Amino acid sequence: MKKDEPPLEFPDTLEGFEYSFNEKGQLRHAKTGEPFVFNYREDLHRWNQKRYEALGEIITKHVYGLLEKECHLKKVTLPVDATENEPKSFIFMSEDALTNPDKLLVLIHGNGVVRAGQWARRLIINEDLDSGTQIPYIKKATEEGYGVIVLNPNENYIEVEKTKAQVQLSSDSSDEPAEKRERKDKIQKETKKRRDFYEKYRNPQKEKETMQMYIRDNGSPEEHAIYVWDHFISQSAAENVFFVAHSYGGLAFVELMIQRETEVKNKVTAVALTDSVHNVWHQEAGKTIREWMRENCCNWVSSSEPLDTSVESMLPDCPRVSAGTERHELTSWKSFPSIFKFFSEAMEAKNSSVKPAPTRRSNRIKYEEL
């Protein structure tokens, strides 16, 4: 017999969830000391998922707080000329991000639910803050004299609840062609079938219908990267700009190169990609971009090989080396020490006007002629 679904109402603080981060940065239950449990209520898949998402939103705000309090970064609103009533996003910057004459580190996470300061929400909840957030990178960069800019490429729109008139308008498809209505009906039936399979209860809670209001000039990760480049990174005083871009962040960086090739080449010293999903063919990156990437980028990819071991590439872009893990979401954390060595050696090579040797990061790394 099906159960009634409980209300989709959840606490809005970690304390309300009865969780907190311990001294090791691990999320633990306040009373039992146990890690987070996804299946909090048996046979209530959607409710458990909504609970997990609600906790994820709290984690996002918690990380924002750590960026400001522990890393001493400031929040900067986007667009820079935003009016009071328009949708807004933001990034985080160190106080010296635009004035540091020497080094600037730019961090770009991947696609999905993650926001500024995170690599992977799943790691933050199930592992710890060090592996799941960008905080170790920010602290290390600060110690080594870098300015820091943390991008927020997934904050592309705000959601607002639809009015009754808008709900009625969206559900009224009388003006649509018959073929389009049939496709829509088919999709709705398939969705209902999946929902009935997963949800083992009657009277499911109805969710509010929302609409998306996109943020001007920041409506996609690619747009966001270009906007932050134009208004901040390109205006910075740093002689050496370094990027760390994870997963879809790598694709956003390649798109930035395509749109601002000359500027990027003049400003950026080295780029560390971590399991990047960019594709120089699909993105139609030109020969000069591919050549620059071979010289100045390295992609730490998920692999069973030891850290920094050369990994064969099918594409003619940058060298690929092992991140020392087969888990995609862990590649940024596992390659952390190697990436800062890579940056230091790239800057030394630039300052001495000598091209870096093929094995400069590790005796195991070998560049291949592509």
Element of type H or E holding 19: strand 19-21
Complete DSSP assignment for 220-243 = SHHHHHHHHHHHTGGG---SEEEE
What six digits make up the tokens of 122? 């799943």
Complete DSSP assignment for 26-81 = -EEETTT-PPP-S-SSTTBHHHHHHHHHHHHHHHHHHHHHHHHHTS--EEEEESTT
Catalytic residues: 247
* Residue 25 near residue 128, CB atoms below 8 Å: yes
Alpha helix segments (H runs only) across 244-286: 248-259, 261-267
What six digits make up the tokens of 126? 């199930």
* Residue 54 near residue 62, CB atoms below 8 Å: no
Distance CA 305, CA 252 (A): 27
Report the sign of the C-alpha dihedral through residues 110, 114, 119, 124, in that order. negative
